[in-house]
Amino acid sequence: MRLRVKDMDIATGRVLVATLNEKDAEKLDINALDRIKVKKGRNTETVVVNIAEGKIAVPKGKIGVSEGVVDSLKLKKNDIVDIALARKPLSISHIKKKLDGQRLSKKEINQIVWDIVNNKLSGIEIAYFVSACYTHRLTLNETVMLTKAMVGHGDILKLDKYPIIDKHCIGGVPGNRTTIVLVPIIAAAGLTMPKTSSRSITSPAGTADTMEVLANVSLSIKEMKRIVNKIGCSIVWGGALNLAPADDKIIQVERPLGIDAESQLLASIMAKKHSVSSTHIIIDIPVGKGAKIEKKKDAQKLKKEFEAIGKKLKKHIKVVITNGSQPIGNGIGPALEARDVLWLLKRDYKAPLDLERKCIILASETFRMAGIKDGRKKALEILNSGKAYKKMKEIIKIQGGNPNINPDKIKLGRYSFTIKSSKNSVVRDIDNIAVSKIARVAGAPFAKGAGIYLYKHAGKKVKRGEILFTVYAESKERLKYAKDVLKKLNPFVLK
């Protein structure tokens, strides 16, 4: 069938989509979400079909195409294209196999990952794969094969260094900005740490969001390699690189579903670490109410699985189980967290001590894993001597930021409100989920200056009239939303 092109001026993201009028679809017995081949000259692309009822959106004789199809086939308005029914991707049958609880082969896993990377699977089909792995957990060998497939279908940062240090936190705890402190400490000791980090999906800030307050994080893999070879480290956004791209697409589906399949979590983390050629990896698993892992026994189980997959991939793994029962640090939100980090590195009295303690624990374990004795003493010496701050200034400068930025001058949201204690008491608990929700409603992480600043932590005494926390927003409207949410949620529980 030959149809005339109509540019829908819609970006559909990773999946290529075309829309047919229902009358044209009937002629070829095509249904919604079927696949068709669209051919223009020598170029052919397989796309997912939407059906338009009536003639307003897409009239009979026309085909509406998304921007991805326009770009791929170099189409112009009213071009003539040929369409034909296409078979479903090979990986559909493999996904069905996993839904039935059967084990997948290396070839089958590779095909699934290839189809994900090359946009052959719709979001629904990827969701079925995620659900299959959630319901019928991948074996250790399947997880290793998935990890290697993810790495194999992306770029790899190759460095002529040893050891190469990396770090990952499971997440779920607001603040907890240890990476931006840990990288300069480790690099100042002469070790190599090419850190790629994520932006936030459900939290008030990811490491990349916070680092972006201080420097550019959207670098190419070539630029990242140059930086690491020159100063021994980097703190960049992994999404700007083509490292394990299948993982990013799987995560996009997992988040709305609220599914975090454990085997995919393992493959996801290890694929990103494998793709930067890391040899020594420290994993932080915070445990506590509101964190991703709420029970110690679940953390211990996950720890053993990380160690097992690390052994299979010939990686040195150190898993540290930490306290995730409340936010780490005082600032929650990109700019507020950036202030905490710089105050800590500058040894300013305003630095949050809980964040410092955790960073020293992680640095100590990292040094021990890398063969450096008395890691705690080494970490403290690097911090107190100013070597870590000096290295941080190098990172900021080489990534295009101002190395002399004053943390006290970092711009926060111009609108704010403060909550004070109504009585003499003790802070019994701080709700991780409530804190994250309020900070996000206030505008974080997209509004860099939005978020929450905590003046008290759990276990601390508080007098009547003392400040518990301040909420910042960049607009009056956002501040109003945060106040409305605060009426329904209670982030601070006082005894």
Which positions are catalytic?
A: 260
The three-point CA angle 318-322-326 to 5° equals 155
Q: Do residues 359 and 378 touch, judged by C-beta distance below 8 A?
A: no
Closest CA to 473 of 443, 445, 446: 443
* Radius of gyration (C-alpha) of the chain in whole angstroms: 25
Please tell me the distance from the alpha carbon of residue 110 to that of residue 114, in angstroms, as a whole number: 6
Buried b (16+ CB within 10 A) or exposed e, 245-254: bbbbbbbebb
Q: Do residues 14 and 119 touch, judged by C-beta distance below 8 A?
A: yes
Neighbouring residues of 471: CB distance < 8 A, sequence distance ≥ 6: 416, 417, 418, 419, 438, 439, 442, 451, 452, 479, 482, 483, 486
Neighbouring residues of 184: CB distance < 8 A, sequence distance ≥ 6: 233, 345, 388, 389, 391, 392, 395
Please tell me the distance from the alpha carbon of residue 402 to that of residue 420, in angstroms, as a whole number: 35
Please tell me the distance from the alpha carbon of residue 383 to that of residue 322, in angstroms, as a whole number: 21
Please tell me the distance from the alpha carbon of residue 292 to that of residue 322, in angstroms, as a whole number: 12
Closest CA to 321 of 293, 285, 295: 285
Closest CA to 223 of 246, 197, 241: 241
Buried b (16+ CB within 10 A) or exposed e, 459-478: eeebeeeeebbbbbbbeeeb
Please tell me the distance from the alpha carbon of residue 111 to that of residue 90, in angstroms, as a whole number: 7
- The sheet carrying 165-169 orders its strands as 165-169, 280-287, 316-323
Q: Which two tokens stand for residue 133?
A: 């792995």
Please tell me the distance from the alpha carbon of residue 159 to that of residue 392, in angstroms, as a whole number: 21
Task: Give CA separation, 232 vs 68, 102, 191, 292, 395, in Å.
Answer: 38, 44, 7, 31, 9
